[in-house]
Amino acid sequence: MRLDPAPVDLTGKTCLVTGANGGIGASTAAHFAALGARVMTTDLSDRFDGECDSDHRGIDLLDNQGLQECCDWIAAETPDVVFNNAAIFDMGSVLDAGLDQFDKLFGLNVRAMYAVMQAAARALVSAGRSGSIINLASQAGHRGEALVAHYCATKAAVISYTQSAALALAPHGIRVNAISPGVVDTPMWDSVDALFARFEGKEIGQKKREVGEAVPLGYMGRPFEIARAAVFLATDQSQYVTAQTISVDGGSVLRF
């Protein structure tokens, strides 16, 4: 049998990472750079805190002007790979999660995600190039949770947009997939833990410990484990994979 291994290499590629100062974003940027990519990063801060060189811009994707700046940048640079990672979390049931929270979560997690994906797709199609767009979903997008109404809905929307975009862009050789992390030990989870402490009357650190112990593999994920999935989707290792949402959650969500 003839083996035809695809290279795990991004040399000569340009990769954009949004939300790059978070644990998952920074790790993914570093993984892309280690494989030879030129890395572009965005986050709220004007400084990139990751462990690799990057062409960085401080951009607020919730601001219309900032979002347009990012889309114009994408149009000018035409990145080969986009890791659409920027997102925010908040809590509230349908009894107390108001429209202000709805607007903020959907504004970044869905509206900005869609605009970045669209800008990347248009740039690649215009240039006649293939590429890979990777959207960050969540295990929360596969099921509702009583105290996480808006956030769950935003991540379900990410999964749906990923599928639609993949089907639309397949004739152009552009693959679109999503990664669905479970609970990942990042600085953001300290804020999530504090919210659960307030809403569920738990001690600080209790929810974080409980969710880690509940994972079938027995621990919270680590940012590099999500970054490795992004590498798979960014490289030719996944050249026949599109319209998929890959769960990287230690076995937490089982789906047919």
Residues noted as catalytic: 151
Fill in the DSSP letter of residue 107.
Answer: I
Fill in the DSSP letter of residue 243.
Answer: S
How far, in Å, CA of 83 to CA of 116, rounded? 10
How far, in Å, CA of 127 to CA of 130, rounded? 9
Token output for 20: 């790059």
**Length of the chain, please?**
256
> In 22-128, which residue ranges form alpha helices assigned H by DSSP?
23-34, 64-77, 99-106, 113-127
Q: Quick check: 30 and 50 in contact, CB under 8 A?
A: yes
Fill in the DSSP letter of residue 7.
Answer: P
Give the CA dihedral 143, 146, 151, 156, nearest 10 degrees: 20
How far, in Å, CA of 17 to CA of 15, rounded? 7
How far, in Å, CA of 30 to CA of 28, rounded? 5
As a whole number of Å, the end-to-end CA separation of the chain is 31
- 219-230 in b/e burial notation, b at 16+ Cβ within 10 A? ebbebebbbebb
